[in-house]
Chains A and B, each alone.
Chain A
Amino acid sequence: MCECSEKLIAWMDGELADGEAAAVQQHLEGCPACQSCLASYRLASASFAEYCDAATASVVAPRARLKVPRWAFAAAAAASAVALVLFVPKHGTMSPASARENAAANQSTPRSLAPAPASPALAPIDPAAVGEVHSSAAPAAERRPGNLAVFPRRAKSEHVATSGLSVRPVANVPVRSEGSPAGEPAIEIAFSSDSIFPAGAMPEGVSFVAEVTLAADGSAEQMRLQPRLVEFQERKVRP
């Protein structure tokens, strides 16, 4: 029995240090007995893998079914569209962001969670404002850019290419914040998941809602994420 025979499997698995591996390889080149052992180990290893594959296929394949992973909801949002509904500030110091609309963004932005508001219409965020949401209705001096910064800035060309971001008020979402005028709309921000997640990582029609409580300084005090199956919800309301 060669001394190297005890190291053949570790060598086969690439578990030996460089020096040891080189010594085993050199030995193997001149030792038919070890070559034969190595071949049998490789075959045993491959047979075991084949056996496990067959055992797995016999159990899993016949009963395979489409199942949306639960973790995906927690992970939230590698769907074709991701929607965030941001609620007005708890302390009422920040104006609720209203929206601006852009027809191009409206066409290309994937389905969003809530029904389209009557007005104002959808508006794209210009590249300079990506990462910021502020009211177009309010005078410029009253705007508070950066308070709802949620997205990384992107180059203009990329933004146009993906048209991945739009902002609009959501009229029918209950505002739970304290101290804010009644009826102030929450804000929906929709952006393409392709800008964040690997393509095809999540099934179509998954979005999520983020309920965000904002502090006086505009930072997020609390955030709660809730998954939504957009397609499912839409099917429910359609005849």
Chain B
Amino acid sequence: MSGESIPLGATLPRFATRTRETTILYRELRKPLLRYLVCLGLSADEARDVVQEAFVSLQEHLAAGRSQENMRAWLYRVAHNRARNRQTSYDRRFSGPLEGAEIATMLDERTPERRILQLEKFGQLAGAVRQLTDQERECLLLRGGGLRYREIGEVLGLPTSTVGDTVERAIKKLAEKCNV
């Protein structure tokens, strides 16, 4: 804004509008983004950092007057790329063997019976999920976040048809491996 004369009466309302948009998106997407990042393998702190970085980028993006189309996919793409940059932890959760103790932390402890059933189910799912390729996992996670195939394609840089094929393959693998 330096050197450019901008009426304050126009500047602040624009700022307020951007902030409102960011706030709404933050409230709507913070948890799904955290879920996506944690399931990609980031730790809770890493995931929180990435989410914050993504929203800082969003604020800067809006402040620069750039495109406001499909900001949900835009946020996921930023978060995805930042997660990719933290490559050391990216593959940790799903590509490595999931220990029994790790699965145990995911269990609901309401009743012993339910705990046993969950242990079996999650153990089975963990095995099935490890059989998925990175792309299949990412497509399923983004689909679980409510993104359309077209949006998933935007996040991952894939054609929509490829996303459709990948999702179908991944779901069929899970259904087959889990015998469900």
**Cβ B5 vs Cβ A221 within 8 A:** yes
With A54-B106, A220-B7 given, is the CB distance from A44 to B19 under 8 Å?
no
Would you call A20 an interface residue if the criterion is a C-beta within 8 Å of the partner chain's C-beta atoms? Answer: no
**Cβ B148 vs Cβ A55 within 8 A:** no
**Cβ B107 vs Cβ A202 within 8 A:** no
**Cβ B174 vs Cβ A219 within 8 A:** no
**Cβ A13 vs Cβ B149 within 8 A:** yes
**Cβ A56 vs Cβ B8 within 8 A:** no
Would you call A152 an interface residue if the criterion is a C-beta within 8 Å of the partner chain's C-beta atoms? Answer: yes
Would you call B156 an interface residue if the criterion is a C-beta within 8 Å of the partner chain's C-beta atoms? Answer: no
Would you call A18 an interface residue if the criterion is a C-beta within 8 Å of the partner chain's C-beta atoms? Answer: no
**Cβ A48 vs Cβ B125 within 8 A:** yes
Would you call B6 an interface residue if the criterion is a C-beta within 8 Å of the partner chain's C-beta atoms? Answer: yes
Would you call B1 an interface residue if the criterion is a C-beta within 8 Å of the partner chain's C-beta atoms? Answer: yes
With A13-B167, A60-B44, A71-B26 given, is the CB distance from A197 to B20 under 8 Å?
yes
Interface positions, chain A 1-20, Cβ under 8 Å from B, are 6, 9-10, 13, 15
A197 cross-chain contacts in B, Cβ below 8 A: 16, 19-20, 23
Q: Smallest Cβ distance from B165 to chain A, in angstroms?
A: 10
- CB contact between A220 and one of B8, B16, B105, B174 (< 8 Å): that residue: B8
B59 cross-chain contacts in A, Cβ below 8 A: 71, 74-75
- CB contact between A55 and one of B24, B27, B39, B143 (< 8 Å): that residue: B39
- CB contact between A9 and one of B18, B22, B167, B178 (< 8 Å): that residue: B167
A15 cross-chain contacts in B, Cβ below 8 A: 148-149, 164
CA distance A49 to B15 in the complex (A): 37
Q: Smallest Cβ distance from A220 to chain B, in angstroms?
A: 4
| B11, closest chain A residue (CB) | A220
Would you call A148 an interface residue if the criterion is a C-beta within 8 Å of the partner chain's C-beta atoms? Answer: yes
Would you call B140 an interface residue if the criterion is a C-beta within 8 Å of the partner chain's C-beta atoms? Answer: yes
8 smallest beta-carbon distances between A and B, as pairs: A149-B9, A71-B55, A220-B8, A54-B106, A44-B175, A44-B174, A58-B105, A75-B19
Q: A10-B149, A149-B9 are in contact. List 7 more A-B contacts (CB 8 A).
A: A51-B106, A55-B38, A71-B52, A74-B56, A78-B20, A198-B20, A221-B5
